[in-house]
Amino acid sequence: MARIYAITNQKGGVGKTTSCVNLAASLAATKRRVLLVDMDPQGNATMGSGVDKSTAAFTAYDVLMGFIDVPDAAITPTEVGFSVLAANSDLTAAEVQLLNQPDKEHRLFNALQLVTNQYDYILIDCPPSLNMLTVNALVACEGVIIPMQCEYYALEGLSALINTINQIQAALNPRLKIEGILRTMYDPRMSLTLDVSAQLTEFFGDKVYNTCVPRNVRLAEAPSFGKPVLNYDRQSKGALAYLALAGEIIRMNEEVAGAMSLR
C-alpha cells in the first residue's frame, strides 16, 4: 500500500513545490514507485517534473470531477523516474464546481484508492492556501510534510497550518497527522535560522527531519529546465539534501513497519 503524503504550507515561497518534486525524484532514485499529484492550479510541480501543463491530455481536474480515473490520467516522463498527475489552470474551476458535488471533500481520496497498490509513495503538492483543493489533499493523505524557512513569520504561518490540520483530523480524516517538518533554504550562518530551528526542535521533537535543505543555486535553476535537481546536477548540495531526506523517510517507515510486525 502506498504511503500518501501531502506537502503543504499555507505560506508561499517556502520551497513546497521544490520539495515535492525533488523528494519524488529522490524516492524514485531508490527504486520506489512514486506518483506526484499536482493539486496547485499554477502547475509548477507539473512543469518542474518535465510535463507541459498546457498539452497534458488529462489533469487532476478531470480526476476530481470524475471524468477519468487516475491510471488513465497519470503521465510518466522517462527522465524523472516517477509518474505525474498534472495540473493547470483548469483546477481553479474545480474549486467552485466541487462545492456543489456530493462528498466533495473525499474526491481525491476516492480517486487514489484505485492506485494505492501500484505505488510505494504518493506525494500531493498543495496550493499555498486553504481551499477545497487543499482540503481534498488533507483528506486523502495520512501525513503532512511541512516545508518551512527558519524565520519569524514562518512560525506564525505554521501555527495556522496546525490549526487547519487539527480541524481536518477532527471532522474528516482521523488518520491525519504531521509526518515531518522540513527546514528549507537553511543557512546556519544566520542566528535567526539557528534560533527558529531550535524552537522547532523543542516543540516538535523528532517530527523535525534531521535533513536540512540549504539555499542552493542549482536547486533554484533546475525548474527552468523542467527537471528535478537530481537530474540537473546530481552532485549539488540541493540534490544530496533531498536524497538524504528520502533516505530518512524510508528508514522511518521501515522502523514503523518493523515495530508493527513485532506486535
Q: d(Cα 38, Cα 111) in Å, to the nearest integer?
A: 14
Pairing of strands 83-85, 3-7: unpaired
The amino acid at 75: I
Q: Give me the pLDDT at residue 180, please.
A: 96
* pLDDT for residue 52: 94
Residue span of the structural domain in which 34 resides: 3-261
Buried-state track 173-199, b at ≥16 Cβ within 10 A, e below 16: beebebbbbbbbbbeeeeeebeebbee
pLDDT at 157: 76
pLDDT digits (tens, 9 = 90+) for 98-135: 888 889 999 999 999 999 999 999 999 999 888 999 99
- Cα separation values, 78 from 49, 58, 88, 253, Å: 10, 18, 21, 27
What pLDDT shows up at residue 261? 63
pLDDT at 85: 97
Looking up residue 43, the CATH number of its domain turns out to be 3.40.50.300
Q: What is the pLDDT of residue 255?
A: 82
Q: Give the pLDDT score at 262.
A: 60
Domain count, the chain: 1
CB 9 within 8 A of CB 165: no
Q: Report the pLDDT value the prediction gives residue 263, as an integer from 0 to 100.
A: 64
Single-letter residue type at 136:
N
User: What pLDDT, in 10s, does the model give residues 155-174?
Assistant: 777 888 999 999 999 999 99
Angle at 45 (CA atoms; ends 44, 50), nearest 5 degrees: 95
Residue ranges of the chain with pLDDT lower than 70? 78, 259-263
